[in-house]
Chain A
Amino acid sequence: MPSLSNWKTRQALTAYALLIPAIAYFAVYFFYPIAVELWASFFRGQPLIGEASFAGLSNYMTAFQDPRVQKALATTLIFAIGATTLTLLPALGLAAILAGPIKGSTWIRAVIFFPYIISFVIVALMWKSLLDPYSGILNNVLMALGLPTQSWLSTPSTALPTMIGVVVWKDVGYAMLIYIAAIQGIPSSLYEAAGLDGATPRQMFRTITIPLLTPTTLFLAVTIMINHLQDVSAPFLLTNGGPADATRLYSLHVYETAFVELNIGYASALSFLMFLIILVITFLQFRVFRRQVAY
């Protein structure tokens, strides 16, 4: 009969053997490219494809003083915080309504969720057409109502809010569906007890539903925020970062630095700075929400 320690060793070896494909996959396709990018960030010029010279930390120092990087970062924070907040609030409201026994709620949920499954390329083409300042439906409606028309994506003051509106329209259905699942998981006995104590529906929503949804809100806030901090498709497809850099998000700036300017070392450093920024923001989100999480 094998000893317990031998059995444990064999079990551990089997587990590692089974994990080898996954470890190899992540090593080759995730950790190796990340390590190469980190290496490239210490070079000036075109590491990986052409001439490059060791630059130490100078790419990182340059990034801290680069006004376009600072502006792109500020724009990205406004975009990410705005888009996350404006996705979660209506999603929660819609979920609170549609989680109940409402006639046709399945269809309404499907309609609201539908934009989430469309490719952003299609979404961008559709919204660019709708928002076209000269032939778009939206301006035609405004004109018919006698209201002034807008160059939604071509005016620096309206371009970023418009872009936030487009991504919120796409994502709100996803957040709503997650919220509905979470609401339906709250024990009905809590609402029954509150009802017996004379609580109104509004009080129940504020004191039972919202606190018990904080883990869901944390999950959604973290994942949606990370997506938006990294978003390149929205500015690339809707405005190309314009007008006058009003929608130039950080990831688009990194992309153009790498692939248009061929400043690959600097772009690698910018990528790593973004990685650190996302890490800090996510940590802060966990800190803030953890205090309020009710299980």
Chain B
Amino acid sequence: MAKSKVRASLMLAAGALAMMVGSANAETLTVYWNAGHAYDTYAQVIKQFEADHPGWTVNWERFQWPDLRTKLVADFSVKNPPDLVEEPGGWVQEFGQQGLLTPLNDDIAKDGAAMGYPDDWQEYTVKRNMVGDDYYGVQLHLTCATLVYNTDMLKAAGFDAPPKNWQEFREAAIATAKGGKFGFAPNPVVSYYWPWIYQNGGDYYDPATNKVTFDSPEAIEAIQFVSDLIHKDKAAPVPVAGADYEGPQKLFTAGRAAMIITGPWDVGPIKTGNPNLKWDIAPSLTEKAQGTQAGGTSLFIPKDAKHPAEAWDLLKRLVSLDTEIAASIPNGMTMPRKSWASDAKIQADPVLGKFGQCLSYAHDITAEIRLTGKSAPIEQILQAAIDDIMYNDKPAKDVLTAAAEQANKLLADK
């Protein structure tokens, strides 16, 4: 009896010791990721990473963007950030300027040629992840929003082809808005208004004068055009208030909106939400120019990351061409590599091919203002102005002029 007690005690002690040794060798790589981008392909890449690094576990934490940012900023304040982070665009330069990120110059000098970076990436996706001459991030996804339309609703209203310019768009929107249905469903989020400004020859910011230009006649006309669709033409509803991008997609999927401006992220919800819906993707509208907003996510390694070498290894795997192709086809996501865009499988894909076409004329509209470090508060000012125009039917000229004055004052402040 006594012997068995001793044996049991020894076994328990050995077990505890083994656990302690095990935990001493075990390492965890913490990755923050957007919940909507947790594709199976990435899960497999992570699984392979763990297999290739015995004793390592990837703690793949998934969040919505606002939650991810809140947690990340809190982590920065206590100098305990994750090892690798996916960001929605703009954060790399914002945090890079603050000295919160690891420069990737040495890693790129070592591995860039083998992985195709930066030459195989669309040029503007490299620039948007740099501060000065330093690389701080690598683009993971590259998206652009373009016109998505309900072919049946347009045909029923007498339009065999999608609109190409604003006049045609307005006519189609008015003609399809009847019986509780809308011709166009706008989004409340400010970035969805930038394509209109670009198409009318406007811009957001002039680095030469360090002033915003969203009060230019072109920008005012563009925003007033969208407002008139709501308040004058009664062809569009006021946007559903909220932080998500889903309102227009839900109306479109339900067959209650003929046209929306969206990107590849809405392909899945539309297909699964209403498999019988007949819809298609059109090139972005051309008014004075054909244009749209480029977006997409990037990956970065925080300065105080505990395992930067392993984080870089995982980053390389996540942005490889094979991973890009495997992740893009089932999820309808467009990617930043030139070789991805020219891949035969991608070009043959009816959805990806059409969204991919607008990447060539898309602009990263906030690229220059981000370098001022004041992009976020200025975007808030513009969002408030857009809200005032869209919800309160205020004249775009008055509201945007006042907003630009406020933004320029902020830019002038040291």
Q: Measuring CB to CB, which residues of chain A are less than 8 angstroms from any residue of chain B?
A: 46, 48-51, 68, 128, 132-135, 151, 153-156, 159, 236, 238-240, 242-247, 255-256, 258-263
One of B98, B188, B377, B392 near A261 (C-beta < 8 A)? B377
**Most chain B CB neighbours (cut-off 10 Å) among A155, A240, A247, A258:** A240
Q: How far is the CB of A158 from chain B (nearest CB, A)?
A: 11
A50 B98 Cβ-Cβ under 8 A:
yes
Question: Can you list 15 A-B pairs with a CB-CB distance of less than 8 A?
Answer: A48-B76, A133-B240, A135-B250, A151-B240, A153-B241, A155-B391, A236-B66, A242-B242, A243-B391, A244-B392, A259-B66, A259-B70, A261-B377, A261-B380, A262-B73
CB-CB < 8 A to A239: which residues of B?
241-242
Whether A260 lies near B69 (C-beta < 8 A) is: yes
A50 contacts which chain B residues (CB < 8 A)? Answer: 76, 98-100
Complex CA distance for A261 and B377, rounded to whole angstroms: 5
B266 at the interface (CB under 8 A from A): no
State the 10 A-B residue pairs at the shortest beta-carbon distance, nearest first: A50-B98, A240-B243, A242-B241, A244-B387, A243-B391, A48-B77, A243-B241, A49-B76, A244-B391, A261-B377
- For chain B, residues 90 to 133, give those with C-beta under 8 angstroms from any C-beta of chain A: 94, 98-100
Interface pair A134/B238, CB less than 8 Å apart: no
In the complex, what distance in Å separates the CA atom of A154 from the CA atom of B230? 13
Apart from A50-B99, A261-B376, what 16 extra A-B contacts exist at CB < 8 Å? A46-B98, A49-B76, A134-B250, A134-B254, A154-B238, A154-B241, A240-B242, A243-B188, A243-B391, A244-B384, A244-B391, A245-B387, A246-B391, A260-B376, A261-B380, A262-B98
Picked from B66, B69, B380, B387, the residue with its CB within 8 Å of the CB of A243 is B387
Contacts of B256 in A (CB 8 A): 134
Name the one of A155, A159, A236 contacting B243, with C-beta atoms under 8 angstroms. Answer: A236
Given known contacts A49-B76, A50-B98, A51-B98, A263 and B377 CB-to-CB distance under 8 angstroms: yes
- The reply to whether the CB of B239 lies closer than 8 angstroms to some CB of chain A is yes
Which residue of the partner chain, among B73, B239, B392, contacts A156 with CB atoms under 8 Å?
B392
Pick the residue among A151, A159, A236, A255 that contacts B237 (CB under 8 A): A151
Q: Give per-residue flags for B156-198: 1 if the beta carbon is below 8 A from chain A beta carbons, else 0.
A: 0000000000000000000000000000000010000000000
Q: Chain B 212-255 against A: per-residue CB contact (8 Å), 1 yes, 0 no?
A: 00000000000000000000000001111111000000110010
Q: Does B368 contact A (CB under 8 A)?
A: no
Nearest residue (CB) in B for A248 is B384
Determine if B388 is an interface residue (Cβ-Cβ < 8 Å).
yes
Chain B residues with CB below 8 A from A246, complex form: 391
Whether B188 contacts A242 by the Cβ 8 Å rule is yes
Q: Is the CB of B100 within 8 A of A49?
A: yes
Find chain B residues with CB under 8 A from A242 CB.
188, 241-242, 387, 391
> Which residues on A sit within 8 Å (CB–CB) of B384?
68, 244-245
* Contact B242–A49 (Cβ < 8 Å): no
Instruction: Check B73–A259 contact: CB distance below 8 A.
Output: yes
0 or 1 for each of B362-381: is its CB under 8 Å from A? (1 = yes): 00000000000000110010
- Please state if A132 and B69 are interface contacts (CB–CB under 8 Å): no
In the docked arrangement, what's the CA distance between A255 and B67, Å? 11
Q: Is the CB of A134 within 8 A of B237?
A: yes
* Residue among B250, B251, B376 having the largest count of chain A Cβ atoms under 10 Å: B376
Query: Which residues does chain A contribute within 8 Å of B100, judged by CB atoms?
Result: 49-50
Q: Which residues of B contact A (CB under 8 A)?
A: 66, 69-70, 73, 76-77, 94, 98-100, 188, 237-243, 250-251, 254, 256, 376-377, 380, 384, 387-388, 390-392
A133 neighbours in B (Cβ, 8 Å): 237, 240
A244–B387 Cα distance when bound, in Å, is: 4
Q: Which residue of B lies closest to A240 (CB)?
A: B243
Q: Which residue of A lies closest to B413 (CB)?
A: A44
**How distant is the Cα of A259 from the Cα of B251 in the complex, in angstroms?**
31
Shortest Cβ distance from B403 into chain A, in angstroms?
Answer: 12
CB-CB under 8 A from A46, the residues of chain B are 98
Q: How many Å lie between the Cα of A135 and that of B94 in the bound state?
A: 39
Contact A134 B242 (CB under 8 A): no
Taking the nearest CB of chain B, how far is it from the CB of A189, in angstroms?
54
| B240 touches which of A154, A156, A245, A260 (Cβ 8 Å) | A154
- The answer to whether A128 touches B387, judged by C-beta atoms less than 8 angstroms apart, is no
Chain A nearest CB, measured from B372 CB (Å)? 13
Measured between beta carbons, the chain A residues less than 8 angstroms from B73 are 49, 258-259, 262
From B94, B188, B241, B250, give the contact of A262 (CB < 8 A). Answer: B94
For the complex formed, measure the closest distance between the CB of B357 and the CB atoms of chain A, giving whole angstroms. 31
Residues of chain B with a CB closer than 8 A to A132's CB: 240
Which A residues lie within 8 Å of B77 (CB)?
Answer: 48-49
Given contacts A151-B238, A156-B392, A259-B69, contact A49 B98 (CB under 8 A): yes
B-chain residues with CB within 8 Å of residue A236 when the two chains form the complex? 66, 243
- B69 nearest in chain A by CB position: A259
Known contacts A259-B69, A259-B73, A261-B376: A159-B241 contact under CB 8 Å: yes
Residues of chain A lying within 8 A (CB to CB) of residue B238: 151, 154-155, 243
State A153–B239 Cα separation when bound (angstroms). Answer: 10
Contacts of A261 in B (CB 8 A): 376-377, 380
CA distance A124 to B188 in the complex (A): 19
State A134–B237 Cα separation when bound (angstroms). Answer: 10
Q: Report the minimal beta-carbon distance from A131 to chain B, rounded to whole angstroms.
A: 10
Q: How far is the CA of A269 from the CA of B237 in the complex (A)?
A: 39
Identify the closest chain B residue to A263 (Cβ).
Answer: B377
Q: How far is the CA of A280 from the CA of B251 in the complex (A)?
A: 46
B396 to chain A, nearest CB (A): 14
Closest residue to B73 on the A side, CB-wise? A259
Task: Give the most central of B239, B254, B388, B391: most A CB within 10 Å.
Answer: B391
Query: Which B residue sits closest to A257, measured CB to CB?
Result: B377
When distances are taken between beta carbons in the complex, the residues of chain B under 8 Å from A151 are: 237-238, 240
- In angstroms, Cα B386 to Cα A244, docked, is 8
Which chain A residue lies CB-closest to B381?
Answer: A68
Contacts of B69 in A (CB 8 A): 259-260
- The residues of A that contact B376 with a CB separation of less than 8 Å are 260-262
Establish whether residues B391 and A156, one from each chain, have CB atoms under 8 Å apart when the complex forms. yes
Chain A residues near B98 (CB-CB < 8 A): 46, 49-51, 262
